[in-house]
């Protein structure tokens, strides 16, 4: 298998290393960035804003998404802005995706990847390769930790490899008023500590995507996520009375 980093690239290869763009003799490189935050912190909105800013400058980009909450291959923000996107599957080689665009006469300047926590470690490595070898600027957006407060594999690899790490500044608050940093998975008023890592649901009661879960039927009816501060995540304290208490709900 050839990789983008091979020496003596085929001159017809659309992903041959680009000539230096800065004229200084040092090769132009793209940057790999990871913007992260809890659910509902505005990551998708920021992703679409960055896409808008680049497109206005005449730069060509591609929007990618893993497991968007809409269930469609698009980036949908909670304030109602939506753009079509390309769905990344578990086995998608992101280098091939970019190569196809180049072959079709659509060279890319940047990639925007939403829900990047669901990427595999290998896919994050492919993004780093694209930044280094074909000067692509890559903007990844996602959640750092899962409902057990453990790093998602994609997020972990991004923390290890990214040039820039940026917490998203729109702060989501726990019901107590402290910064919310953890996405608690909640069913029947209890914080769940075990289960499948990837279960797509909303911060309102949602449908569970993975029917292999042993608690599937129960979760189908009641599962949701709630953002909590570390203390209340540790204690499993969802706050007083209202099941919706403390949630940022814009939709």
Residue numbers at the binding site for Zn ion (CB under 5 A): 174, 176, 178, 229, 232
Question: Would you say 34 or 175 has its CB closer to Zn ion?
Answer: 175
Sign, Cα dihedral of 89, 92, 97, 98: positive
Angle at 165 between CA 120 and CA 179, to 5 degrees: 100
Closer residue to Zn ion in complex, CB, 178/198: 178
User: In the β-sheet with 190-192, what is the strand arrangement from edge to edge?
Assistant: 190-192, 182-187, 224-228
| Contact assessment for residue 48 and residue 178, using Cβ atoms and an 8 Å cutoff | no
**Other beta carbons less than 10 A from residue 28's beta carbon:** 14
Which tokens go with 217? 């039927």
Which helix (H) or strand (E) covers residue 88, if one does?
none
The single residue of 87, 115, 129, 171 carrying the catalytic annotation is 115
Instruction: Find the shortest distance in angstroms from Cβ 140 to Zn ion.
Output: 28
> Between 52 and 234, whose beta carbon lies closer to Zn ion?
234
Q: Least Å distance between CB 123 and Zn ion?
A: 34
Indicate the residue among 40 and 129 with the shorter CB distance to Zn ion. Answer: 40
Instruction: Find out whether 53 and 109 touch, Cβ atoms under 8 Å.
Output: no
Shortest Cβ distance from residue 203 to Zn ion (Å)?
15
The DSSP secondary-structure symbol of 179 reads B
Write down the least CB distance from residue 177 to Zn ion, Å: 7
Active site residue 125: no
Q: In whole angstroms, give the CA distance from residue 161 to residue 234.
A: 29
Interatomic CA distance for residues 127 and 223, integer angstroms: 33
Measured from the CB atom, is 141 or 225 closer to Zn ion? Answer: 225
CB of 24 to Zn ion, least distance (A): 50
Active site members: 115
């Amino acid at each position: 298998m050839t990789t983008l980093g091979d020496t003596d690239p085929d001159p017809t290869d659309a992903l041959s290393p680009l000539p230096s763009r800065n004229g200084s003799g040092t090769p132009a490189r793209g940057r790999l960035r990871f913007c992260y935050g809890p659910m509902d912190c505005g990551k998708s909105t920021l992703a679409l804003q960055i896409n808008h800013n680049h497109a206005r400058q005449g730069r060509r980009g591609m929007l990618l998404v893993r497991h968007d909450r809409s269930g469609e291959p698009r980036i949908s923000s909670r304030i109602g802005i939506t753009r079509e996107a390309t769905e990344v599957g578990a086995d998608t080689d992101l280098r091939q995706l970019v190569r196809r665009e180049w072959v079709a006469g659509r060279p890319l300047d940047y990639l925007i990847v939403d829900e990047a926590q669901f990427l595999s470690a290998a896919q994050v490595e492919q993004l780093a390769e694209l930044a280094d070898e074909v000067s692509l600027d890559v903007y990844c957006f996602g959640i750092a930790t899962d409902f057990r407060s453990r790093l998602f594999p994609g997020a972990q690899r991004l923390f290890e490899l990214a040039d820039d790490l940026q917490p998203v500044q729109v702060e989501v608050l726990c019901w107590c008023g402290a910064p919310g940093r953890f996405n608690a998975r909640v069913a029947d008023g209890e914080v769940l500590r075990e289960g499948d890592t990837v279960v797509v649901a909303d911060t309102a009661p949602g449908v569970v995507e993975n029917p292999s879960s042993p608690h599937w039927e129960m979760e189908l009816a009641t599962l949701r996520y709630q953002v909590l501060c570390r203390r209340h995540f540790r204690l499993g304290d969802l706050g007083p009375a209202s099941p919706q208490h403390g949630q940022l709900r814009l939709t």
